[in-house]
């Protein structure tokens, strides 16, 4: 009786150990943060292409994507940006788009100067550091 219980215990433990990696696997969505701090429209287009490509690969509902803009990249998110329509498409795809308020202050920009549908973060670089600490993949095209 004791031997049978021991065998059952060992078999149960073996099953639990073999099942543990699958049970402990991270089932959450990938998290990708795209940084734009460059004033070149080629870089802006590339960043938006990266967002589109990542969503195409994973499925737009199966990945979290945040675009964080600061410094010289501010023009990307101005209301009169040459890529304003692409920002609309990016937002419609489910990506988050955020502008750095520190940059806005330094460049004397107000929310009226910016794309009407974007979000804001106090400091773009701090947003990037904190998301990185949370395990987000940071990409700077």
State the CATH number of the domain containing residue 82: 3.40.1260.10
- Which residue range is the domain that position 117 belongs to? 28-139
pLDDT digits (tens, 9 = 90+) for 76-110: 999 999 999 999 999 999 999 999 999 999 999 99
Of 10-14, 54-58, 68-72, give the lowest mean pLDDT range: 10-14
- 3 in any annotated domain: no
- 83 in any annotated domain: yes
- 5 in any annotated domain: no
In Å, what is the CA distance from 72 to each residue of 9, 38, 43, 67, 118? 63, 5, 11, 14, 17
- 16 in any annotated domain: no
pTM, two decimal places: 0.80
- 53 in any annotated domain: yes
pLDDT digits (tens, 9 = 90+) for 12-57: 443 333 343 333 324 489 999 999 999 999 999 999 999 999 999 9
Q: Tell me if residue 48 falls in helix, strand or coil.
A: helix
Which residues have a Cβ under 8 Å from the Cβ of 95 and sit 6 or more positions away? 51, 55, 65, 66, 67
- 87 in any annotated domain: yes
Which residues have a Cβ under 8 Å from the Cβ of 104 and sit 6 or more positions away? 74, 110, 111, 113, 114, 120
Q: What are phi and psi of 128, to 5 degrees?
A: -65, -45
- 21 in any annotated domain: no
- 43 in any annotated domain: yes
Domain count, the chain: 1
């Amino acid at each position: 009786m004791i031997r049978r219980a021991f065998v059952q215990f060992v078999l149960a433990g073996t099953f639990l150990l073999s099942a543990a990696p699958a049970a402990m696997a991270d089932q959450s969505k990938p998290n990708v943060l795209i940084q734009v701090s460059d004033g070149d429209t080629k870089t802006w287009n590339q960043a938006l292409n990266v967002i589109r490509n990542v969503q195409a690969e994973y499925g737009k509902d199966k990945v979290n994507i945040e675009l964080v803009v600061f410094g010289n990249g501010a023009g990307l998110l101005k209301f009169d940006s040459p890529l304003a329509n692409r920002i609309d498409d990016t937002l419609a795809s489910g990506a988050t788009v955020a502008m750095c308020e520190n940059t806005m202050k330094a460049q004397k920009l107000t929310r009226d100067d910016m794309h009407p549908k974007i979000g804001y973060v106090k400091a773009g670089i701090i947003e990037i550091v904190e998301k990185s600490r949370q395990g987000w993949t940071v990409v700077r095209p």
